[in-house]
Amino acid sequence: MKLVNFSINNYRSISTAYKLPLTDYVVIVGPNNEGKSNILKGLGLALAILTDQRSFRFGGHQTYTNHARFRLSYNNRTPDYLRYNWERDFPINLQKNKKTISRSEFTCEFELTPEEFEEFKKNTKVNLSTNLKAKISIGKDRDIKIDFLMKGKGKITLNKNKREISDFINKKLFLQYIPAIRTSELAINIVNNLLGRELSILEEDKEFRDVVKTINKLQQPILNKISKSLKNSISQFIPDLKNVSIKNQDDISDVINASCSIFIDDGIETELQLKGDGVISLTAISLLQSFSKRESSEQGFVLLLEEPESHLHPKAIHNLKDVLREISKTNQVIITTHSPIAIDRLEVNHNIIVQNNKAKPAKDLNEIRESLGIVMSDNLSGAFLVLLVEGEVDKTILEQWLKEKSSKISSALNDGSMIIDHLGGVTNIEYKATMYKNNLCNVIAFIDDDDAGNKAIMSAKSKGILKDSEYFLSFCKGRSKSEIEDLIDFSSYSQLIFDDYGVYLDVPSFKNNKVQWSDRVKNIFKNGGKIWNDKIEVEVKTKIALKAASLGIASLNKNKTNSIDSLILSLENVLDKQSS
C-alpha cells in the first residue's frame, strides 16, 4: 500500500492544498512561517487517526458506523502533531464566518497492489476497483468523522466496514513522525519504538515467552545485526566511531517495550541516552534506515521528518540525504527543509512549495529557488544542469563536441538550461560544486584522469559533495594518465604546432603511454631547444583547443570516445528529468 496524494483544507495556516502528489521521496519547502510543518503535521494527524495509533485514544462511542463520530482525547505522552485544538488549528480568520464549514478536513488516497485488492475484498466484502480514499474531518469539539469515498452503491458497504478498513491500513502502514525539535527523550522513544517493532517478530516463539534466558539468546543475533547496520550508518556522521552494540537487560518481560540498551563507542562506550542530542537523533534516523531494509514484512512505513538538516554540518546533510534516499527505495519519506542540499533537483515536481496559505508541486527550479530565498545571477537563472570542467581549454573543446554529438545538449546550452563552467584549477571543484548545488543546479564534472584529478574527485566524494554518478574522467585506454588533449586526434593539431613553434610532435617519445600529455609535449619542446613554462603551456593548449573547436567533432579521436559518450548519456539523462 502506498500513499499517492493528500489534500488538506482549513488546518492551521493552510487554507487549501488539493491532491498533493506523494512519491517515494517528497520535499516540502517554502519561506518561514508559511506552513511547511503544518502540511506535515496535518498528514501525520490524518494517518495516525486512520491507523488508530496507540499514542492517543478515541473517546466516546467507538463503533464504526456510517455516521459515527469520535472525540479525540489525549494523554500526557501524546505528541503535538496528534493534538487538535480548534481555536488554534482552525484558521482564525474563518472562525467567525458562519458560511464556512468549521471543520478541518484531510483526504488521503492509497494505491493498492493486486494482492492487496484481493485481501481488501476478503476483509471488507467490498470489491474496490479504484484507489482507497479516506476523508477525515475534525470539528470544534475534537469530534472526528471518517468517510471512505467511493462512487456507486459500494460506498454504503464500504463505510459499514470502517473498523476493518482501519485495521487493514494499520496492518499495511507504519507511521513515524520526527519533529524538528528532537530532544533526547523523544529520540530515545523513537529508538525504543523501532527496536520494539524489530523484536516483535519473536512474539510467537513459545520459548521466548517462557524463559528469559531463551529471550536473550533469541534476541541477541537480531540486535547484533541491527548494531552492525547502525555502525555502518552512524559512521557516516561520526568518523571516530569504533563500535555500536545493543545489549539485553536481564529483566526483559515484554518484547514490545524493547527493554534493551544501545551503547555507542566513539572513544568511550556510553549508553545512547547519555550521549548528546545530535548523536541520539542521528542514531534514531540510522535505525530507521535499518528498519526500512527488512526483507520479510508486508508492512511499509511512512517517515515524516521535519527539518532533518537541523544542527548538522554540510557533509552530514549530504550523508543524511543519502540515508533518506535509501529508505525511500522501499518506503515513503516526506520531509520539510530549509536546506538546498535536501531538495530533489532531478524530479522537480517531487518538491512541494508552501506559500500564501496554499501548497502545490513545484513547476521548475526557479520556483524552489525563490521560495528558499536564493538569488541567481542572470546567466544562471535558468540553469538546471552545470557541467564543470577544469579550464577554459576544456570548455572550448567540450562545448563544440557536445553540441555536435547531441541535439538535446545543444538545445539546452542554447536556451541556458545547461551551462559549462570551468574551475580555474581542479582544486576548486569542491567549492564550485557546492556553490552550484546550493543554488539548486544539478552538477556533473568532467576532469582529467591524472593524479590531481583523481585526488580532487576522491576528496569531493569523501565529503559527500559529489556522487559517483556526478563525475567522469578523460579516460584513454592504454594510458595510466590522460588529459582532454589525449582525446583529440593528433593530426588535428600536429601541423599547427610545427608551423607556430617549429616543434615536430610526431616522434616516438610522444606516444609514450606512461607519461601524460603535458609532460610529453614539454619534453619534446625542451629537447628541441624551445622554452617551456606555464605561460607557453597555456598558449599551446589554447591554440589546440581553438583548432579542435573549429574542426568540430572531426577533431575527436574515433578510438577514444568512450568517456565522452558516457558523459553525453549522463547529461542527456539529467536533461530528460527536466522535460518529464
- Is residue 352 over pLDDT 60? yes
User: Quick one: angle between helices 562-579 and 392-405, nearest 10?
Assistant: 70
- Is residue 217 over pLDDT 80? no
Q: Is 7 within 8 Å of 17 (Cβ atoms)?
A: yes
Kindly indicate the confidence band of residue 178, based on its pLDDT and cuts at 50, 70 and 90.
confident
The confidence score (pLDDT) of residue 523 equals 94
The confidence score (pLDDT) of residue 242 equals 85
- Is residue 155 over pLDDT 50? yes
| Over residues 315-340, mean pLDDT | 85
Q: Compute the distance between CA of residue 414 and CA of residue 416 in angstroms, rounded to an integer.
A: 6
- Is residue 253 over pLDDT 50? no
Kindly indicate the confidence band of residue 61, based on its pLDDT and cuts at 50, 70 and 90.
very low
| Over residues 372-394, mean pLDDT | 83
Reduce the secondary structure of 438-484 to three states and give it as a string: HCCCEEEEEECECHHHHHHHHHHHHCCCCCHHHEEECCCCCCCCECH
| Over residues 555-577, mean pLDDT | 94
Average pLDDT of the residues of the chain: 83
Q: Is 353 within 8 Å of 30 (Cβ atoms)?
A: yes
| Over residues 238-259, mean pLDDT | 64
Of 119-133, 188-202, 486-500, where does mean pLDDT reach its minimum?
A: 188-202
Q: Compute the distance between CA of residue 464 and CA of residue 341 in angstroms, rounded to an integer.
A: 11
pLDDT above 70 covers a percentage of the chain that reads 83
Q: What is the DSSP letter of 103?
A: S
Reported residue count of the chain is 580
The confidence score (pLDDT) of residue 93 equals 86
- Is residue 59 over pLDDT 90? no
Kindly indicate the confidence band of residue 173, based on its pLDDT and cuts at 50, 70 and 90.
confident
| Over residues 434-458, mean pLDDT | 93
The confidence score (pLDDT) of residue 380 equals 67
Reduce the secondary structure of 131-159 to three states and give it as a string: CEEEEEEECCCCEEEEEEECCCCHHHHHH
Closest by CA position to 294, among listed 247, 331, 254: 331
- Is residue 129 over pLDDT 90? no
| Over residues 522-531, mean pLDDT | 94
The confidence score (pLDDT) of residue 251 equals 44
- Is residue 399 over pLDDT 70? yes
Q: Is 423 within 8 Å of 390 (Cβ atoms)?
A: yes
pLDDT above 90 covers a percentage of the chain that reads 41
Q: Which three cell numbers stand for residue 335?
A: 520531509
Ordered domains of the chain (ranges, CATH): 2-20+42-172 (no CATH), 182-296 (3.40.50.300), 376-580 (no CATH)
Of 195-209, 223-237, 396-410, 479-493, where does mean pLDDT reach its minimum?
A: 195-209
First-last CA distance in the chain: 25
| Over residues 527-543, mean pLDDT | 93
Sequence-separated (6 or more) residues with CB below 8 Å from residue 354: 14, 17, 28, 29, 30, 34, 35, 36, 38, 39, 371
Q: Compute the distance between CA of residue 548 and CA of residue 562 in angstroms, rounded to an integer.
A: 18
- Measured over the CA atoms of residue 247, residue 248, residue 250 and residue 251, the dihedral's sign is positive
Q: Compute the distance between CA of residue 144 and CA of residue 86 in angstroms, rounded to an integer.
A: 12
| Over residues 127-141, mean pLDDT | 90
Q: What is the DSSP letter of 35?
A: S
In which element (H, E) is residue 6 found? strand 2-11
Kindly indicate the confidence band of residue 573, based on its pLDDT and cuts at 50, 70 and 90.
very high
Of 18-32, 213-227, 472-486, where does mean pLDDT reach its minimum?
A: 213-227
Render pLDDT for 272-325 as a digit per residue (tens, 0 to 9).
777 776 676 677 777 777 766 665 456 778 889 888 887 677 777 777 888 888
SS3 for 257? Answer: helix
- Is residue 184 over pLDDT 60? no
Kindly indicate the confidence band of residue 66, based on its pLDDT and cuts at 50, 70 and 90.
very low
| Over residues 551-578, mean pLDDT | 93
CB count in 10 Å sphere of residue 151: 8
Q: Is 177 within 8 Å of 184 (Cβ atoms)?
A: no
Side chain identity at residue 506, one-letter code: D
Q: Is 29 within 8 Å of 351 (Cβ atoms)?
A: yes
Q: Compute the distance between CA of residue 199 and CA of residue 208 in angstroms, rounded to an integer.
A: 11
Kindly indicate the confidence band of residue 270, based on its pLDDT and cuts at 50, 70 and 90.
confident
Measured at the CA of 63, the angle between CA 58 and CA 66, to 5 degrees, comes to: 110
Q: Compute the distance between CA of residue 373 and CA of residue 211 in angstroms, rounded to an integer.
A: 60
Q: Compute the distance between CA of residue 100 and CA of residue 86 in angstroms, rounded to an integer.
A: 14
The 3-state DSSP composition of the chain as helix, strand, coil percent (nearest 5) reads 45, 20, 30
- Is residue 82 over pLDDT 90? no
The confidence score (pLDDT) of residue 60 equals 36
The DSSP code sequence of 56-99 is SEEES-----TT-EEEEE--TT--GGG---HHHHS-GGGTT-TT
407 exposure class (CB count in 10 Å sphere: 0-12, 13-18, 19+): exposed
Q: Which three cell numbers stand for residue 260?
A: 534493551
Kindly indicate the confidence band of residue 76, based on its pLDDT and cuts at 50, 70 and 90.
low
Q: Is 41 within 8 Å of 81 (Cβ atoms)?
A: yes
The confidence score (pLDDT) of residue 192 equals 65
Which range has highest mean pLDDT (215-219, 295-299, 566-570)? 566-570
Q: Compute the distance between CA of residue 395 and CA of residue 388 in angstroms, rounded to an integer.
A: 9
Of 38-47, 241-250, 292-301, where does mean pLDDT reach its minimum?
A: 292-301
| Over residues 517-528, mean pLDDT | 94
The confidence score (pLDDT) of residue 470 equals 96
Of 71-75, 490-494, 531-535, where does mean pLDDT reach its minimum?
A: 71-75
Region of residue 440 (phi > 0: left; psi between -120 and 50: alpha; otherwise: beta): left
Q: Is 134 within 8 Å of 149 (Cβ atoms)?
A: yes
